[in-house]
Structure 1
Amino acid sequence: MGRREFFVKVGFLCFFLFNLFSFAYCSVIYNITASRPLSSEQTLNSPRQIFELGFFTPNNNSHNQYVGIWFKEVSPQTVIWVVNRENPVTNSSASLTIGSDGNLRLLDGQQNSIWSTNISGQSNGSIALLSDDGKLVLNSIAGENLWDSSQHPTDSLLPGTWLAYNNTTGERLTVTSWKSDKDPSVGDFTAGVPPQTPPQAFVWKGSKPHWRSGPWDKTKFIGIPEMDADYQSGLTLIEGLQPGSAYLTVSVLRNCSYSMFVISPTGVLRFLCWVEVRGWYARWEAPVTPCEVYGACGPFGVCQRYEPNLTCRCLKGFVPKSDEEWSKGNWTGGCVRRNELSCGGNASSINTQGGKPDGFLKIGGLKLPDLSEFLKVFDEIECHQRCLNKCSCSGYAYVNGIGCLIWTGSLLDMHELPFGGQDLNLRLAHTELGETPVDTSRENSQPIMWGSTSEDKDSIELPLFDFHSIIVATNNFDIVNKLGQGGYGPVYKGTLQDGNDVAIKRLSSSSGQGMTEFKNEMMLISKLQHRNLVRLLGCCIEREEKMLIYEYLPNKSLDTYLFDPARKAELDWSRRFNIIIGVARGLLYLHRDSCLRVIHRDLKVSNILLDEKMNPKISDFGLARIFEGTQDLGSTHRVVGTIGYMAPEYLLGGIFSEKSDVFGFGVLILEIVSGRKVNSFQYDKQHMSLLAYDNAADRPTMSAIVSMLSGEKSTLPEPKQPTFTFQNISSNNHFQSQSNSTWHGNHGVKAGYKHDRRSTGRVIFLIRSD
């Protein structure tokens, strides 16, 4: 290449790059004015480059162009608002500009107005901007807000406060789905909050309800069970800021770069979260199952299961309106009363009831029916009486945060919730109630209820997860999701439909632990609430499966740090002390401060879980026992636990008490402080094991231990000589004879004692495994 040719080519390249950069620079603008319209080659950006507005083609095979707003850094493109969803432009000469009347206008290639903000009155010098919260705003030259896109949403709601309704002005907030994923024109589904008391959210298909949230109780929509389980729904309804108005507040979800509500083309309302490594995923969505579709089981019909297959039943006292239709799986016709009510009935119905009045049957755990009437009454007793006195009243409910709800006529859109739910008091003829009204209408009831092992009268409620949801959450128990393996069985990480992570303990069929331990753990943890105890979220009992669902703790168990040479450095002394005192407080709660007195019996490092801040939580209550009243000691013929952590009196005699846990806690402290496993405390023949320094009578209580650790006790007791030592038989060659020995068999462990000829009065216990 000659020198001249080289410079010509370099010059051409520089000219090309200069024009390319100039084009790129000019393609992004930050405001629209009458003299600076937005062309189809340009985009309007928000100040921090979060959102972008411009022309887009949702279907690459289409010539139709729309103007919309999308997240600038999100791929694939996610459009949150569309200007001209019903009027696409078909040429490249279209523009978005400010008209002579100050309105923002979309013009086609022939300068015809396709869309306008339609502000009344003249406003010279308007300017259009895109804000960092995703709003297209039209301001006057003086900065007055004339119009913004948040007042006219399409299918999405971003974080912020949105008008739900205003009865004075007649304004309503609704979002309407796209026709399809590739067609932003108005679809079949609309979501909103109609003005009613109490308010509730709806999704409509055309003019017919498709899904319903249940009424707002000042903190949550009671028909959405996820909002009833310490769940960040991201949605709050605010009433009373102005008379006859309500506002929706959409929150930013934790750990999400972006979040938004959107109504899909198929009518599913979703709260979406976007994270860079995962993309968009639904933290919550509805309707998902057929049970959630409005009126799926017809009048007086209840959807039985919160699962993919629709199964309906009639309320107690009702029968299918058409047996033929129900046998075909068509439940929309619902149910009718089997016996007429005496109130408002004819003479024959009154005679049938023997002149006795109607009564009420309480049905729990329901999504309450639609079309309720709200009454301002003093209490639930008055609510009951008002319904009883009104012959057309078919049922009532008294809901905390709302008050008295009564229903007249048919009860529609009910289903059993997987957890939470409300009590419906159903009006029935006296003959349907029997002598002692009992709610027998819920087959395979959710949540599950069991009696306590100590008090049958004391029952618990625990959310019941279906097996299908567990399969989905764990990706069919994928080995990648396996967190660990214990004697009970494997533990898996799972991600629920709402995006929350959980730990799922699956009882192995070969496990020595069975239904007794399973029920024991469920009943205990469901009754115990403390920051240093792991939280049980629910269970799954289906087919041959028995599973417990816990909160997920990302740092797993203490032993994964303590005994790992590569990770133990992360446990500095401050963290180790925090773990020690946290476990101590958890045990103190179990022993003295909870509603039950509980002995854990299996305290060890692998049963101490760590949350994201390395705070400890005691887990695994399968072997725990409850003490009643003034009881201090318990005994058992079945000694179970982990060698090294079991107190001598328990290992040898089956006697357990609070001091049994204190022994385990002492071993735990030794391991935390030394970073060594209990079974590694081996010494030469001249030294005894550290575990020897432990006599039940000398052990302090957990309250004393907490006082010591917190510095409340300045004077600590002097340590005493050990009562027994523990040594391996193989190392005791210096013992020449054995006398007065006894052996007790417990799971392959044998124990005995010998007189130590080297020290007067010392009894040495020998432990060996067969």
Structure 2
Amino acid sequence: MLPFMKHGLDRQTGLNRILTSWKSKDDPGIGNYSFQIITTGYPQAYLYMGRTILWRAGSWTGIRWSGIPKMSSNDYNISFVNNQEETTIMFRTFPNSTDPNGSIKMVVDESGIVHRSLWQETTWVEYWSAPQGLCDKYLNCGPNSYCDPHNLVTFECKCFPGFKPKSSRDCIREKQGVSMCNNGEGFVKLAHMKVPDTSIAHADMNLSMKECEQKCLRNCSCIAYASANESEGGIGCLTWQGDLVDTRTYPDVGQDLYIRVDAVVLAQYAKKNGLTQKKRMLTILGVLVAIMFLLAVPVVYCLVMKKKKENRHSTYSYSADSTLLYFEDSPSRRDLDGTRRNSYLPLFDLRTIIAATDNFSIANKLGQGGFGPVYKGLLQNGLEIAVKRLSKCSGQGIEQFKTEVALIAKLQHRNLVRILGCCIHKEEKMLIYEYLPNKSLDSFIFDETKRSCLDWGKRFEIICGIARGILYLHQDSSGYMSPEYAMQGLFSIKSDVYSFGVLLLEIVIGKKNSTHHHDDPSSNLIGHVWDLWREDNSMKIVDPLLDETYPANEISRCIQIGLLCVQEHATDRPTMPTVVFMLGNDTHLPSPKRPSFILMGTNNSTDKSTSAAFNSINEITLSQIDGR
């Protein structure tokens, strides 16, 4: 769909314009997926697989579909017409657009994903796609409940105010039989919501929001209302009777939805959220005092630290068997476990880490990573830790290191190893993590004895857990940086997708990617999987230690997802929200293209463009051969 093309129903001719997918990337025949506007109730857009609804884009809000974020660009606008003659939507470009005939497009691909892209100089750049994740799945939560994307780790649908759980996904009225008709009832506002399915909603485009509230209040069957027009000075009212379905929250977009509650619940929310004018004034006054205090704190802190620095008498001594400096400081400045408390940057004294690791003894060494060795340690309070001692040639400054650690320390996710703090002394930079007694995944996957303990159910659970952890980093962490950005300034979340694809295939197969196949010593594991996939024989490479009762369809699907993640061109790889959706839903998958073959632990790269200045610390070399 390009600018000035109409999408929707022309009632005069009966023509209904819809977007349909191709059968595959190479077959332009009509595929299984379609994106169309449905006029039942108040018009809204749906994504279908055949006749099954996969995702609801929501109702028109005056500037966009309620389930699609606004554009940051001002190069175009959208017009929506809903009258007796037509119900259509159309992109328009402004006169100053760099390319008035092609600045934006919308596509439904063969895997059932809706994409929006902008034309920038010489290429299309995608800025949005859907569906993404469980909260976009149609009716993922049942009646009178809504999906919260921040609840996806331990998934649970939330009930609307005044409702209680009937099951894990459905909700019913908290007080059955209590009258909410002229009995002191009112409305509770929920912000940033995708409004409920409007196929059963009633629209009145002549009412303001105040009039909309009064209309819903007078109708004892009305249980919710929302604006039908978000545009400036917009007038329009949506009201619902019956169950509210297919609703979710957004972090920064969405609409205000008003839920009808009885007098008791209304009072509870008023007590919880409402402030009297006097309390508001006290709050404002308190904020002003806090601001003045915060402005004074840095000045006082600098004066105190300057004074302490002048009075500090610190001594340094060398260990007899190590070049490390021992840093001695006043015990009163530390807690019992040797840490210095800081809510943003937990710092460990070097002396504490040396004692915990027995001066980095070989006996305590857990392994060697791409950025340096890792040691097991034991603090005085009995807490076991893992210490990653970073290479001194990393080139990263102290302030950059502190900033990165402070951001990483804020990450909280069940599928991510928790960082406890860091240790900085001269050229020494160390990361302190929680100790995982079961070691890393590779100690199980690549060990014949341990691998037999991992059945397919456990492996699939591990795969999904890793995917959710990466998804959290990409979507919810403002402090996440991928390695190529940190080391070379080349940022791409698709690089993490590639790494995930490699790991997924290793889990399925039980071998390292660097394993050379006996039939082709130049081919790594990914190349071998790709060859078998093209021969429609990929199940041949599944780990023979798996029980023969494993679900072949699920494993085959995981292999295909893994190959999609390791495709040669980053633009062809799916995003992590799409990967999580593909793992959790039995939808059609596109055919993967040729993967990028990476050989691990070798320096015989044929890529002459690789500069020595950018050699990877963990010796990952990209060898790419293009036929001519």
Give the TM-score of the pair, scaled to structure 2. Answer: 0.40
Which structure: greater helix fraction?
Answer: 2
Using CA pairs below 8 Å that are at least 6 residues apart, which structure has the higher relative contact order?
2
Which structure: greater strand fraction?
Answer: 1
Q: Which structure has the greater CA radius of gyration?
A: 1
